[in-house]
A and B are shown apart, each in its own frame.
Chain A
Amino acid sequence: MDLLADLADGVINGNDQRVAEITKQMIDQGTAPKAILDDGLIAGMKVVVERFRVQDIFLPDVLLAARAMYAGTELLRPLLIKEGIPSIGKVVIGSVQGDLHDIGKNLVGIMLKGAGFDVIDLGNNVAPERMVQAAQEQGATVIGMSALLTTTMPAMRKVVEMLHQEGLDDRIKTIVGGAPVSDDFARDIGADAHGFDAASAVDRVKLLMNVS
């Protein structure tokens, strides 16, 4: 029986109990934590993301899959830290100041974690200073900003300007997204990338970090 395939299926079906069971079993059997993560949990999440991208499944399925994936990653995290295995990159995300919408931002967070990134989610209504500070403190190289309201989009420009003024824009890149955000807007404010949707946001972050 292929436990890795079962694990991936557990994520795809949103079965958090099953994922926790298999993850424990594999840890006990001595399977490398990195293999459990990459070839089980993340492999399953990749299938979910692709199905979501082609609109074969919807938000509820993704949320349940994410919950299942986290049931596994929670068990693996201490082992990965102990073995000193780095994530492929660290991203700070948040909905911008004045914006209380977070479904889209949460979805991007799920997809980034599902692709193997370390994600620091600052929540919603996040002040520009806090975004920049958190990225510095945590050693994140990308800040992802979300806005659903046209009235809160200007806060994105503040973060980009702040990074520039503090001379951080060569180490910390920015990506913006949300329903009213366009390529033109991203260019206009000097953001490094625009994620059209949650899946494409992950592709853009990979490009910004030069990971494949």
Chain B
Amino acid sequence: MTTFVDRLNSGPILLADGAMGTMLIQSGLEPGHPPESVTLSNPGALEEVARVYLDAGADVIQTNTFGASPARLSTYGLDDKTEELNEAAVSAVRSVVGNGAYVAGSCGPSGKLLQPYGDVAPEELYESFRRQTDSLIAAGVDCVFVETMIDLHEARLAVQAVKDSSSHTPVVVTMTFDPTPRGFYTIMGVDVETAAVQLAEAGADGVGSNCGNGIENMVAIARDFKAACDLPLIIQSNAGTPQTVGGDVVYGETPEFMAEKAAGLVTLGVSVIGGCCGTTPEHIAALREVVDQAA
């Protein structure tokens, strides 16, 4: 199997998976419990999620470790289980995909604010990321996806943690941008160009955006990234922004709509295309067709 980083740089386009949380809720995750709790209580559910996305055609399957850094787990009193949670989540995916897909270790934000905006010191956050990335890499991930970042300083600390955990494990970083009258910015005021430049400097192997405000905005964000850097791009879009209809939460973008617009990502030369909140195996299957047409 071609290494992840070769595939990232030379193609063909990698298709990543879709949403995890909603599928875990369907398999019994209770409100108020973190998705990571499923890793110990019901690892079979993780295997099932990996299987449906693999069957839908995904080349990259992410682990259920978005919140599995001790800084974030500590709010649930689970930080002493950091290693166990990361290793078990990687094993669950690997047992299903073998060498038939890349296993990406998901690493989300700490949920805390760095000084001076909040009360967390950079060293503390680095240590938290490092414990998670040490475990993910020891468990055998093919790459780490640092995801949904809004603060560039925090994102850089996560990249550094991956680099220090392993000199050869690739790391890609996605940040979440909102449209403003002056272009796309994260909640913490980071624009696309600054993100691209600084993440490249930090040593990211790929950069891009996830979550967000629907596929059409993602195409515009990808264009901005393309103009700002030469790194491989990764785009994992929400299926639109969530709307509540009669108490239910719905994401408006259908698999057909996402697939049609995702053709714009292919044209721009995006290297990894996938889904985020609200995307289903049907969305991923529809994106598979778009990616295959490009090959």
Contacts and interface: CB of A to CB of B under 8 A. Distances in A.
Interface of A: 54-61, 63-64, 67, 97-101, 103, 125, 149-154, 179-182, 184-185, 188
Contacts of B249: 150, 180
Interface in B24-76: 25, 31-32, 75-76
Contact of A152 (B31, B182, B186, B244): B31
Contacts of B75: 100
Interface string B92-125: 0000000000000000000101001110000000
Given A59-B187, A60-B189, A182 B244 contact: yes
Contacts of B118: 63
B187 to A, nearest CB: 5
Q: Interface SS of chain B: helix, strand, loop or mixed?
A: loop
Interface in B273-289: none
A149 B31 contact: yes
B246 A55 contact: no
B31 A59 contact: no
B189 A59 contact: yes
10 contacts: A58-B187, A58-B189, A59-B187, A61-B189, A63-B117, A63-B118, A67-B116, A100-B75, A101-B111, A179-B242
A103 B32 contact: no
B32 A98 contact: yes
Tell which of A58, A100, A101, A149 has the most Cβ of chain B within 10 Å: A58
B166 interface: no
Interface of B: 25, 31-32, 75-76, 111, 113, 116-118, 180-182, 185-189, 242-247, 249
Contacts of A67: 116
Contact of A182 (B31, B76, B185, B243): B243
A103 B113 contact: yes
Nearest to A181: B244
B189 A57 contact: yes
Pick the 3 closest A-B CB pairs, nearest first. A58-B189, A98-B32, A151-B31
Nearest to B245: A184
Contacts of B117: 59-60, 63-64
Contacts of A99: 32
Contacts of A59: 117, 187-189
B32 A152 contact: yes
Tell which of A99, A101, A152, A185 has the most Cβ of chain B within 10 Å: A185
B188 A97 contact: no
Tell which of B31, B185, B188, B246 has the most Cβ of chain A within 10 Å: B31
B152 to A, nearest CB: 11
A14 B241 CA distance: 33
Contacts of A153: 244
Nearest to B179: A55
Nearest to A67: B116
Tell which of A99, A103, A152, A182 has the most Cβ of chain B within 10 Å: A103
A2 B136 CA distance: 58
B188 to A, nearest CB: 6
A67 B119 CA distance: 12
Contacts of B32: 97-99, 125, 151-152
Nearest to B75: A100
Nearest to B33: A98
B187 A55 contact: no
Given A149-B31, A150-B244, A154-B31, A54 B185 contact: no
Nearest to A101: B111
A67 B181 CA distance: 27
